[in-house]
Amino acid sequence: MPTAKKQALEMVKKLPDKATWDDIMYGVYVRKKIEAGIQAADEGRVVSHEDVKKRFIKK
């Protein structure tokens, strides 16, 4: 698996020339959240769709 530095460089290369610092930071944030979600799923730390619906049903 590529290093975080290499992944970050690839992400920045794909951004448009007019990208701002906020665009770059958002890309890093999204990537980090996606990786955390994948790791949680791999570790079995997930909630079923039915359980989520039960938690959010207004009574």
DSSP labels for 14-35? Answer: HS-TT--HHHHHHHHHHHHHHH
CA-wise closest residue to 7 among 23, 21, 27: 27
Residue 45: predicted pLDDT = 96
Residue 59: predicted pLDDT = 62
Question: pLDDT of the chain along its 59 residues, tens only?
Answer: 789 999 999 999 999 999 999 999 999 999 999 999 999 999 999 999 999 999 898 76
Residue 15: predicted pLDDT = 97
